[in-house]
Amino acid sequence: MSNEEFRELEDRIGYHFKNKSFLLEALTHRSFYHENPTRADSYNERLEFLGDSVLGFVIVEYLFFLNDKFSESVMAKTKSYLVKEAVLSEISRFISLGDYLRLGKGEEHTGGRTKKSLLADAFEALLGAIYMDGGYGPAQKLVLSLFKEKIDTIIFSREFHDFKTELQEKTQLLFNSIPEYQIIKQEGEEHKKVFTIEVYIAGEKVGTGVGKSKKEAETIAAQEALSRFRQ
């Protein structure tokens, strides 16, 4: 990477490295390391492992000190939701992290710069690099600048709640059976489809959901089923 590219990424994340080797390591995928042994001393998996722990701690610390005094269960579910691949890859795309990665030819040709798993890992590695270079403060600042609004939205909407998992756990315990989801109807154009899904337990319909995706419709159906159980 050129000095200009270093500065460009640093400006995007709001942190400038004292030791650029940390940033270079965070951006180096193992495919590049194996194909270019004379151009890379290491790759980003150790920093990724470190960054994963830093990210989890920052999120839990933020939740812990909120006035709501969330339970351990809520904090765990919220953290689990926020550190999943889909969220981290979205954050990576927001800061255009994929543009700066050092990839091997194989990864480059198979769209590595847009792969969710690769982008999620790279963000954690970047966070680990910031922690190594500047300590906890800058790492915390980056996480909160990128995640705070998302955390607040998730808490308000309770989007972290996994109704499908809760329903499956209940039905296994009560009926020794797992829910079955059936698509009843699909409507709308290809990019604006609306799905109607029913959920059955031991052959009996217990809930119906309508959503813009199968997952959303299934979640709503599971939520309705759980409401019936509680009543």
All domains in the chain, ordered by first residue: 3-157 (1.10.1520.10), 163-230 (3.30.160.20)
% the chain with pLDDT above 90:
55
Point out the least confidently predicted range of 89-98, 129-138, 147-156, 193-202: 147-156
Point out the least confidently predicted range of 6-15, 155-164, 185-194: 155-164
The pLDDT of residue 157: 67
Per DSSP, what are the bridge partners of residue 209?
Answer: 197
Banded pLDDT at 219 (limits 50, 70, 90):
confident
Catalytic option among 25, 48, 52, 218 = 52
Cα separation values, 125 from 29, 65, 75, 160, Å: 10, 26, 23, 24
Is the pLDDT confidence value at 191 over 80?
no
The pLDDT of residue 38: 86
Point out the least confidently predicted range of 11-15, 167-171, 197-201: 167-171
Q: Residue 64, class by beta-carbon neighbours within 10 Å (0-12 exposed, 13-18 middle, 19+ buried)? A: exposed
DSSP class of 210: E
Can you tell me which residue has the tokens 């470190």? 50
pLDDT digits (tens, 9 = 90+) for 50-86: 999 999 999 999 999 988 787 787 788 888 888 888 8
The DSSP line for 127-170 is: HHHHHHHH-HHHHHHHHHHHHHHHHHHHHHHTTT--HHHHHHHH
In angstroms, rounded to a whole number, what is the distance separating the alpha carbons of residues 49 and 72?
Answer: 23
5 is catalytic: no
The pLDDT of residue 73: 76
In angstroms, rounded to a whole number, what is the distance separating the alpha carbons of residues 42 and 32?
Answer: 10
Chain-centroid distance of CA 6 in Å reads 25
Banded pLDDT at 160 (limits 50, 70, 90):
low
Catalytic option among 25, 48, 107, 124 = 124
In the numeric block, which tokens belong to residue 16? 């400038």
**Mean of per-residue pLDDT scores for the chain:** 90
The pLDDT of residue 14: 95
68 is catalytic: no
The pLDDT of residue 28: 95
The pLDDT of residue 141: 97
Handedness of CA 73, 75, 80, 81 (dihedral sign): positive
In angstroms, rounded to a whole number, what is the distance separating the alpha carbons of residues 190 and 56?
Answer: 38
The pLDDT of residue 90: 93
Phi then psi for residue 15, to 5 deg, are -145, 130
Chain-centroid distance of CA 104 in Å reads 24
